[in-house]
Amino acid sequence: MEVLISFVFAVTLLAISPGPDNVFVLMQSVIYGKKYGLATILGLMTGCIIHTIFLAVGISSIIKDNNNNIFLGIKLFGAVYLLYLAYKVYRSSSVISVSTNKIEKKTPFQLYKIGFIMNVLNPKVTIFFLALFPGFLFTEKLSISLQFLILGTLFILVSSVVFSCIALLGGTISEKIKTSKKIGIWLQWIQILVFIGIAVFILI
Protein backbone atom coordinates (compact mmCIF):
# COMPACT_ATOMS: atom_id res chain seq x y z
CA MET A 1 0.00 0.00 0.00
CA GLU A 2 2.86 2.41 0.79
CA VAL A 3 4.32 1.83 -2.68
CA LEU A 4 0.96 2.48 -4.35
CA ILE A 5 0.46 5.67 -2.34
CA SER A 6 3.93 6.84 -3.39
CA PHE A 7 3.06 6.05 -7.00
CA VAL A 8 -0.21 8.02 -6.86
CA PHE A 9 1.58 10.98 -5.26
CA ALA A 10 4.31 10.99 -7.93
CA VAL A 11 1.81 10.69 -10.80
CA THR A 12 -0.28 13.53 -9.35
CA LEU A 13 2.71 15.88 -9.26
CA LEU A 14 3.74 14.90 -12.79
CA ALA A 15 0.20 15.42 -14.11
CA ILE A 16 0.10 18.90 -12.57
CA SER A 17 3.43 19.85 -14.15
CA PRO A 18 3.09 21.59 -17.52
CA GLY A 19 3.53 19.39 -20.57
CA PRO A 20 2.18 19.12 -24.12
CA ASP A 21 -0.86 17.09 -23.04
CA ASN A 22 -2.23 19.19 -20.19
CA VAL A 23 -1.40 22.49 -21.92
CA PHE A 24 -3.31 21.27 -24.99
CA VAL A 25 -6.25 20.33 -22.76
CA LEU A 26 -6.09 23.73 -21.05
CA MET A 27 -6.14 25.63 -24.35
CA GLN A 28 -9.12 23.72 -25.74
CA SER A 29 -11.01 24.26 -22.50
CA VAL A 30 -10.20 27.98 -22.27
CA ILE A 31 -11.09 28.77 -25.89
CA TYR A 32 -14.05 26.51 -26.65
CA GLY A 33 -15.34 25.27 -23.30
CA LYS A 34 -15.01 22.49 -20.76
CA LYS A 35 -16.66 19.89 -22.97
CA TYR A 36 -13.87 20.22 -25.53
CA GLY A 37 -11.16 19.87 -22.90
CA LEU A 38 -12.83 16.76 -21.46
CA ALA A 39 -13.13 15.21 -24.94
CA THR A 40 -9.39 15.69 -25.41
CA ILE A 41 -8.70 14.05 -22.04
CA LEU A 42 -10.81 11.03 -22.97
CA GLY A 43 -8.75 10.54 -26.13
CA LEU A 44 -5.45 10.88 -24.28
CA MET A 45 -6.47 8.39 -21.60
CA THR A 46 -7.73 5.89 -24.19
CA GLY A 47 -4.24 6.00 -25.69
CA CYS A 48 -2.78 5.31 -22.25
CA ILE A 49 -4.93 2.17 -22.00
CA ILE A 50 -3.31 0.84 -25.19
CA HIS A 51 0.19 1.58 -23.88
CA THR A 52 -0.60 -0.08 -20.55
CA ILE A 53 -1.88 -3.28 -22.19
CA PHE A 54 1.09 -3.36 -24.57
CA LEU A 55 3.54 -2.98 -21.69
CA ALA A 56 1.77 -5.52 -19.46
CA VAL A 57 1.69 -8.17 -22.17
CA GLY A 58 5.05 -7.46 -23.78
CA ILE A 59 7.30 -6.80 -20.81
CA SER A 60 5.79 -9.44 -18.53
CA SER A 61 6.69 -12.05 -21.13
CA ILE A 62 10.30 -10.84 -21.08
CA ILE A 63 10.73 -10.38 -17.35
CA LYS A 64 10.72 -13.69 -15.56
CA ASP A 65 10.45 -13.89 -11.78
CA ASN A 66 13.77 -15.70 -11.62
CA ASN A 67 15.62 -13.48 -14.11
CA ASN A 68 16.97 -10.77 -11.84
CA ASN A 69 19.48 -9.51 -14.40
CA ILE A 70 16.84 -8.49 -16.95
CA PHE A 71 14.69 -6.91 -14.27
CA LEU A 72 17.68 -5.02 -12.84
CA GLY A 73 18.61 -3.83 -16.33
CA ILE A 74 15.12 -2.47 -16.92
CA LYS A 75 15.13 -0.68 -13.57
CA LEU A 76 18.54 0.86 -14.30
CA PHE A 77 17.30 1.98 -17.70
CA GLY A 78 14.26 3.51 -16.03
CA ALA A 79 16.33 5.44 -13.50
CA VAL A 80 18.70 6.77 -16.18
CA TYR A 81 15.79 7.76 -18.44
CA LEU A 82 14.04 9.62 -15.62
CA LEU A 83 17.25 11.48 -14.79
CA TYR A 84 17.50 12.37 -18.48
CA LEU A 85 13.94 13.73 -18.38
CA ALA A 86 14.84 15.79 -15.31
CA TYR A 87 17.81 17.23 -17.21
CA LYS A 88 15.61 18.07 -20.21
CA VAL A 89 13.13 19.89 -17.97
CA TYR A 90 16.02 21.76 -16.31
CA ARG A 91 17.31 22.88 -19.71
CA SER A 92 13.87 23.92 -20.95
CA SER A 93 12.21 27.29 -20.44
CA SER A 94 10.10 27.81 -17.33
CA VAL A 95 7.71 30.03 -19.29
CA ILE A 96 4.33 28.36 -19.90
CA SER A 97 2.87 29.46 -23.22
CA VAL A 98 -0.89 30.02 -23.09
CA SER A 99 -1.26 31.72 -26.44
CA THR A 100 -4.66 31.06 -27.99
CA ASN A 101 -3.68 32.13 -31.49
CA LYS A 102 -3.88 29.80 -34.49
CA ILE A 103 -6.00 27.18 -32.69
CA GLU A 104 -8.61 25.81 -35.06
CA LYS A 105 -11.94 24.84 -33.57
CA LYS A 106 -12.81 21.16 -33.81
CA THR A 107 -15.73 19.03 -32.69
CA PRO A 108 -15.45 17.07 -29.40
CA PHE A 109 -15.13 13.81 -31.38
CA GLN A 110 -12.32 15.29 -33.50
CA LEU A 111 -10.53 16.34 -30.32
CA TYR A 112 -11.03 12.83 -28.90
CA LYS A 113 -9.35 11.40 -32.00
CA ILE A 114 -6.51 13.94 -31.82
CA GLY A 115 -5.92 13.14 -28.14
CA PHE A 116 -5.95 9.40 -28.86
CA ILE A 117 -3.61 9.61 -31.87
CA MET A 118 -1.11 12.01 -30.26
CA ASN A 119 -0.85 9.60 -27.32
CA VAL A 120 -1.08 6.10 -28.80
CA LEU A 121 1.38 6.86 -31.62
CA ASN A 122 3.90 8.45 -29.25
CA PRO A 123 6.58 5.84 -28.41
CA LYS A 124 7.79 8.09 -25.57
CA VAL A 125 4.68 7.14 -23.58
CA THR A 126 5.61 3.45 -23.67
CA ILE A 127 9.21 4.29 -22.78
CA PHE A 128 8.01 6.44 -19.88
CA PHE A 129 5.74 3.66 -18.60
CA LEU A 130 8.62 1.19 -18.95
CA ALA A 131 10.84 3.52 -16.93
CA LEU A 132 8.23 4.20 -14.26
CA PHE A 133 6.25 1.04 -13.58
CA PRO A 134 8.96 -1.54 -12.72
CA GLY A 135 10.12 0.60 -9.80
CA PHE A 136 6.63 0.50 -8.27
CA LEU A 137 5.87 -3.22 -8.37
CA PHE A 138 4.23 -3.72 -5.01
CA THR A 139 3.75 -7.42 -4.25
CA GLU A 140 5.11 -10.87 -5.00
CA LYS A 141 1.62 -12.38 -4.77
CA LEU A 142 0.45 -11.00 -8.13
CA SER A 143 1.95 -11.47 -11.58
CA ILE A 144 4.01 -8.66 -13.09
CA SER A 145 1.50 -8.22 -15.91
CA LEU A 146 -1.39 -7.76 -13.45
CA GLN A 147 0.64 -5.28 -11.39
CA PHE A 148 1.43 -3.32 -14.57
CA LEU A 149 -2.29 -3.22 -15.36
CA ILE A 150 -3.07 -1.98 -11.85
CA LEU A 151 -0.38 0.70 -12.04
CA GLY A 152 -1.59 1.70 -15.49
CA THR A 153 -5.16 1.98 -14.21
CA LEU A 154 -4.04 4.16 -11.30
CA PHE A 155 -1.98 6.31 -13.68
CA ILE A 156 -5.00 6.81 -15.96
CA LEU A 157 -7.40 7.54 -13.06
CA VAL A 158 -5.08 10.06 -11.39
CA SER A 159 -4.20 11.76 -14.68
CA SER A 160 -7.88 11.92 -15.65
CA VAL A 161 -8.80 13.61 -12.36
CA VAL A 162 -5.96 16.16 -12.58
CA PHE A 163 -6.53 16.88 -16.28
CA SER A 164 -10.29 17.21 -15.68
CA CYS A 165 -9.62 19.78 -12.95
CA ILE A 166 -7.43 21.65 -15.44
CA ALA A 167 -10.23 21.58 -18.01
CA LEU A 168 -12.96 22.60 -15.56
CA LEU A 169 -10.84 25.39 -14.06
CA GLY A 170 -9.30 26.35 -17.39
CA GLY A 171 -10.10 30.07 -17.24
CA THR A 172 -8.79 30.51 -13.70
CA ILE A 173 -5.63 28.50 -14.35
CA SER A 174 -4.95 30.41 -17.56
CA GLU A 175 -5.22 33.77 -15.78
CA LYS A 176 -2.93 32.58 -12.95
CA ILE A 177 -0.30 31.52 -15.48
CA LYS A 178 -0.52 34.84 -17.31
CA THR A 179 -0.27 36.97 -14.18
CA SER A 180 2.33 34.98 -12.24
CA LYS A 181 5.89 34.71 -13.52
CA LYS A 182 6.94 32.38 -10.69
CA ILE A 183 4.37 29.61 -11.24
CA GLY A 184 6.26 28.25 -14.24
CA ILE A 185 9.48 28.07 -12.23
CA TRP A 186 7.73 26.32 -9.32
CA LEU A 187 6.12 23.74 -11.62
CA GLN A 188 9.39 23.21 -13.48
CA TRP A 189 11.30 22.41 -10.28
CA ILE A 190 8.48 20.21 -8.99
CA GLN A 191 8.81 18.16 -12.18
CA ILE A 192 12.60 17.99 -11.88
CA LEU A 193 12.50 16.88 -8.24
CA VAL A 194 9.81 14.27 -8.92
CA PHE A 195 11.82 12.73 -11.79
CA ILE A 196 14.98 12.64 -9.65
CA GLY A 197 13.05 11.32 -6.65
CA ILE A 198 11.50 8.47 -8.64
CA ALA A 199 14.91 7.60 -10.14
CA VAL A 200 16.46 7.38 -6.66
CA PHE A 201 13.45 5.38 -5.42
CA ILE A 202 13.92 2.88 -8.26
CA LEU A 203 17.64 2.53 -7.60
CA ILE A 204 17.33 1.89 -3.86
CA angle 22, 169, 27 (to 5 degrees): 45
Tell me: the pLDDT tens digits for 28-86? 888 888 899 999 999 999 999 999 998 888 777 776 555 677 778 888 999 999 999 99
What is the model's pTM?
0.86
* pLDDT reading at 97 higher than 70: no
Cα 200 from chain centroid (whole Å): 19
Answer yes or no: are the C-beta atoms of 128 and 19 closer than 8 Å: no
* pLDDT reading at 163 higher than 90: yes
Residue 21 or residue 5, greater confidence: 5
Predicted confidence at residue 204, as pLDDT, reads 81
Q: What does the domain layout of the chain look like in residue ranges?
A: 2-95+106-203
Tell me: the pLDDT tens digits for 180-202? 778 888 888 988 999 999 999 88
Answer yes or no: are the C-beta atoms of 96 and 184 closer than 8 Å: yes
Predicted confidence at residue 100, as pLDDT, reads 56
Ordered alpha helix ranges (H), the chain: 2-16, 20-32, 34-62, 68-91, 108-120, 123-132, 144-168, 170-179, 182-203
Answer yes or no: are the C-beta atoms of 28 and 37 closer than 8 Å: yes
pLDDT averaged over the chain?
86
Predicted confidence at residue 101, as pLDDT, reads 58
Residue count of the chain:
204
